[in-house]
Amino acid sequence: MTTSRLPRPTQDDRELWLWKVGRALTVTFAAAVLIAGRIFYGLVYLLDFQEIATTAKLDAKKLFDLVKLSFGVVAGAGALVALVVAYRRQRVD
């Protein structure tokens, strides 16, 4: 009896193993949020922060700070997507 052996894959025949884009982006977003949260709570612990003073009024300065923060979050998310796409492009090439 002869055993049928498949030829060994060469460098050109190997299949590239990548996660799907949705899964890769979900994992990187989740990791980024977890890391940011751990850094925040670590700094709160190290600085011995007691409490946040609450005010019922939202003035223009705080509103603009919130708008800047939201733009920063969106820019960071866009940068994360660009990094994942660039990594995948490098792996494929």
Instruction: Quote the tokens at residue 8.
Output: 């060994």
List the chain residues with pLDDT less than 70.
Answer: 1-4, 6-15
Cα–Cα distance measured from residue 88 to residue 83, given in angstroms and rounded to the nearest whole number: 9
Q: What pLDDT sits at residue 51?
A: 82
d(CA 35, CA 19) in angstroms, rounded, equals: 21
Supply the pLDDT for residue 4: 65
With 0-12 CB in 10 A as exposed, 13-18 as middle and 19+ as buried, what is 83? exposed
